Structure 1
Amino acid sequence: MARKASLSGFPEWLPAERVVEQHVLDTLRRTFELHGFANIETRAVETRAQLLRKGEIDKEVYGLSRLSAEDDKNDPNALALHFDLTVPFARYVVENAGHLAFPFRRYQMQKVWRGERPQDGRFREFTQADIDVVGDGTLPFSYDVELALTIADALSALPIGDFCLRVNNRKLAEGFYRGLGLEDPDAVLRAIDKLEKIGDEAVAKILVEEVGATADQAAAALALAKIRTLDTSFVEEVRALGVEHELLDTGLDELSQVIAAASKRAPGKVMADLSIARGLDYYTGTVYETVLVGHESLGSICSGGRYESLASKGKKNYPGVGLSIGVTRLVSRILAEELVTAARSVPSVVYVTLAHDDSWHEAQDVASALRERGIACEVASSAEKFGKQIKYADRRGIPFVWFTHDDGTHEVKDIRSGEQVSADPASWAPPASDLHNTVA
């Protein structure tokens, strides 16, 4: 199980735990690239004006300044650490638009910083893995479908057990609320977004007392939020509520396209869930949230949506759709539940022993021959008794120990089984399962 960090909210992994994190990152990288996403990395800092232009989480942003400098919180050009990868990506697109081919597909895996209260699954420093597709002026809706399928592929390849990608559409929700006669759909969405935390009665009370809904309107909004299907039957359930609006029709059509494709290509993994609201204002269509089945208390491990105008410059507008995976949140739960473990804590497969102090260079020749063929190894630092050298290799988690005899012959020992055989540095290889450090 992962240790608690000495500084709350800033996790540090032990070597074997880091192997698990690297496995997650490598798996995501491989899947994203198979789907044609190019990798970028943006700087860790942005201006405060850039980060706070929508004013979502100003109390959670870490400012950046020299210790000797006077901190002016009102200076829009002062620097701060980015709290997500979407805002830096929007700036990146605007600044580099002339060098990008649109629609531009990118993935990005970096640390971000957020000054919130640390708790299970929430950190102040954590790694995110994002994918986005951005268009120049327009972006076909088919990318909303493709993003859901890409994430379903990526999460299916991870050692996390079952998951559910829950999808809704802001147009569907807004059209429904307007069809009910509620003229502040954003306020309704903010209330519905609290449904899982505070329950039906509390949300209904907010809708009536703060949003101005009637009891019947609040009941209808809650009825919509109860609809969940793994196929397109949600359309009939929404129609049965008797609400009509042009925007509702558009939202139903768009969500149907996502769910129809997902039910065919990722059956059981993607659900139409009409309670999903997503709190950020820039989402304009499809919205996604993902939970681990059996670990719902962890919250969403992957979320995002469609934004029609996240990035813009002058008359230029860059719509996009994207999803962000909380890698550190995922890894923390994998480690805490011991869902997987690393085969060993070090990359070394072979520990080359020293028969005597003068044999160090000869041992390095053996190591070089092994490394040339991709076999990770390390050489003993001193010629202690073989028993001590073997014990050291065992403590390191290295499975094979190499011996060179005075007559120039070699033997290698699997210290797990005790089997010891003759070996040639130019041709010997470990079993394929031992060649690389794996997780199981």
Structure 2
Amino acid sequence: MKSINLFKGYVSHDLLPRKHIIKATAEVLLPEVREYDYNDEDRHPLVYGCDNGSAWVRTCIADFSNKVFEIPVGNSAVTRPEYLNLTSGASYGIMNILLQTTLPHTGYTRQAFIVTPTYFLINKAFLDAGFAGKITAVEEKDDGLDFAFLEEKLISFENSTENESQQKIDKSLMIINAQDGKKKVYRYVIYLVPTYSNPTGATYSRESRLKLLELARKYDILIISDDVYDLLRFDYKCQGLFIPTPPEWRFPHLDRGSISSHNIFGNTISNCTFSKIIAPGLRTGYQETANNNLAKQLASGGANISGGAPCQLNSMIIATMIKNGAVEQIVYNFVSVLRERAEVLARSIELYLPKGTSFSGCKGGYFSWCTLPPEYDCSKIVEEASHKGVLLADGSHFEVAGDKKNWGRKSVRLSISYATASEIEEAIKIWGLICKNHT
């Protein structure tokens, strides 16, 4: 029996842009010599790269970003190459960020906040970084977060006598001075996916983003936003080869637009990847910060100093695809296919699932969040569905470590990235039939 997979979080093989990648790879590697081979800020594609990644690649990404978000030259929010640090994808990016900007082991970084339900593989990164017992789940609310709850928790941690040990910590950690090579370490960190969120599909408004930024500056919080789906917007019809309406500005855009002279590192990192809009096997991403100070810090870890940017060749392949227009064509193709799948998913839920089922809708990205009426136990239904060849992800996968909300009984994440439109309809139909047997 062939299974239908609504769990996988990457695109089906037929969407992977093999020919575009072959063409760009040949363009990078066929010449015996390139004009940038001996430029220390770029280097040969097959040698160790510079710490923060090739300058010409970062310039391509910056220009592409400014085009996508429609940020005019001269605007304070504009992305510049020196604000970027190349990575081997968003997962590596999280590990690098936590390693370079937090100190939970010493007690200086007091707590991590993670939006719930959350991306289900993020917990391990925070546990590896030393946040065991120091993670609080924050629920989404309306078009943002439960800010009242978040600030209440922050005030509690600020007033806690357990943090008296802060006075014993090396004061140099609190001195923000990039010129002396000292690191910026944050007291708190929050992780979220603010645009077409994994798993809920939610998008936070600009007002909500500004509110979170205000709290971040007040309480010394680092906002880590996984910005990986925001180009995959399909709640309108595309015109031409690219997205006609810009996505919501990312946190660093808003941060640098009003950063103060006393806060020279900012409070935001946009953790980006090309895995969701090109191909995950390329293992290439980047981090964008409010200015070059934090970007330089992220690129100055021991691993980067030793090996250079971890995506030297593949980042050049992707930059070549940006230059020749391939990325725009790929995104257009992704959006066209995913939009059709999203429409089929919405119709199928209305047709086949129980009355009273709530559904976040899928206006972009890969995922939607579906909650059955309270008399149903999603975890049991999902298990039964797997025996009938339908693979679903019940909400238990998306809990925050140490602060669970019982999502497993209530909800299911639905992915439209891997299954075809016809498979999606068949899967929801089977799911609905199983639900009937559980009434």
* Higher strand residue share: 1
Q: What is the TM-score when the length of structure 1 is the normalising length? A: 0.25
Q: What is the TM-score when the length of structure 2 is the normalising length? A: 0.25
Larger Rg: 1
* Higher helix residue share: 2
